[in-house]
Amino acid sequence: MSLLSSVFGNRQQVINLDSDTFNEQMKNDKDAVLIDVRTLAENEDQRIPNSLLLDIMSPVFTKEIEKLDKNKSYYIYCRSGNRSHHAAKQMLQMGFERVYNLADGIIGWNGEIE
């Protein structure tokens, strides 16, 4: 164990994936759950199919995250990757182990949109 990890603990880092890697990994993950952390208006404008909307700005966001199965894999996205990065970080702090962020958000997404 390094000095830094003994001082700061072994905190997991958010795994940022580009669009193609995110899409491929999610398709091959039988435990994948896709979460959109944008607002309802953003979600209604366009979304990645089969995504679950959990608005990170909502006062009940943390309560909704707590209801999720920690044995699943979570693929998180927002508009640009910033809010989803913060959501993924929060999930890791809550004990989730498999959390992946779409690095460039939906604006960098190369897959299907509805």
Confidence category of residue 12, pLDDT binned at 50, 70, 90: confident
Whether the model pTM is above 0.85 = yes
Q: If pLDDT is split at 50, 70 and 90, which confidence band does 5 have?
A: very low
Q: What are the structural domains, with CATH classification, of the chain? A: 13-108 (3.40.250.10)
- The DSSP symbol for 74 reads E
pLDDT of 54 strictly over 70: yes
Burial of 83 (0-12, 13-18, 19+ CB in 10 A): buried
* pLDDT tens by residue, 92-112: 999 999 999 999 999 999 999
Confidence of residue 11 (pLDDT cuts 50, 70, 90): low
